[in-house]
C-alpha cells in the first residue's frame, strides 16, 4: 500500500508508521501490537469520551472558540441541549481530561484534550478519506 503516517514536530519527523501490516517488519509489528494492548484502557477512555455525538459537538465548538472556553449556558444555547445533557457530557469529557473547569460554569479545552480531539477527529477523517481514495484507484 505504501501509505505512511508521519508525526512531525518543528520540521523533524518524530514518528513514522506504515499503514499496512505488510509494510511492517513482523517482529516490530508484534511489539507495537503488544504495546497497544498494554495501553488498551487509555485508548478505551479516549474512544468512549469521543463516541457520543454530543461530546464531539461540544469539543468541536470549544476548539473553534478563539480562547477555547465556553460556559455551561453557551453549550445549552449553541447546541440546543438541556442542562442534564450538558452536565453529563461535560463530566465525561472532564473525567477523560478533555475539559477543565475554569470557573463557575466555565469550561476550557485542555491542551491534551485539544490535541487528542484534533488527532482523533480531523486527522482520522483525512486518513479515512485517503484510504477510500486508494480503494477507488
Tell me if 52 is assigned to some domain: no
| Cα–Cα distance, 90 to 81 (Å, whole number) | 12
Tell me if 120 is assigned to some domain: yes
Q: Can you give the pTM of this predicted structure?
A: 0.77
List of residues 6+ apart from 90 with CB closer than 8 A: 58, 72, 75, 99, 107
Q: What is the reported pLDDT for 1?
A: 53
What are the residue ranges in the chain where pLDDT is below 70? 1, 137
Contact by Cβ (8 Å): 50, 121: yes
Q: What is the reported pLDDT for 16?
A: 86
Which helix (H) or strand (E) is 7 found in, with range? strand 4-9
Which CATH number belongs to the domain containing residue 132 in this structure?
1.10.10.10
List of residues 6+ apart from 72 with CB closer than 8 A: 83, 86, 87, 90, 105, 106, 107
Amino acid at each position: 500500500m505504501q501509505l505512511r503516517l508521519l508525526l512531525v514536530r518543528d520540521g523533524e519527523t518524530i514518528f513514522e508508521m506504515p499503514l499496512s501490516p505488510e509494510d511492517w517488519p513482523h517482529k516490530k509489528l508484534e511489539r507495537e501490537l503488544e504495546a497497544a494492548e498494554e495501553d488498551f484502557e487509555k485508548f478505551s477512555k479516549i474512544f468512549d469520551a469521543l463516541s457520543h455525538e454530543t461530546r464531539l459537538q461540544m469539543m468541536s465548538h470549544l476548539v473553534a472558540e478563539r480562547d477555547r472556553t465556553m460556559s455551561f449556558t453557551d453549550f445549552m444555547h449553541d447546541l440546543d441541549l438541556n442542562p442534564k445533557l450538558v452536565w453529563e457530557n461535560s463530566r465525561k469529557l472532564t473525567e477523560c481530561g478533555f475539559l477543565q473547569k475554569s470557573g463557575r460554569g466555565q469550561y476550557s479545552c485542555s491542551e491534551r484534550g485539544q490535541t487528542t480531539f484534533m488527532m482523533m477527529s480531523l486527522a482520522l477523517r483525512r486518513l479515512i478519506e485517503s484510504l477510500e481514495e486508494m480503494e477507488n484507484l
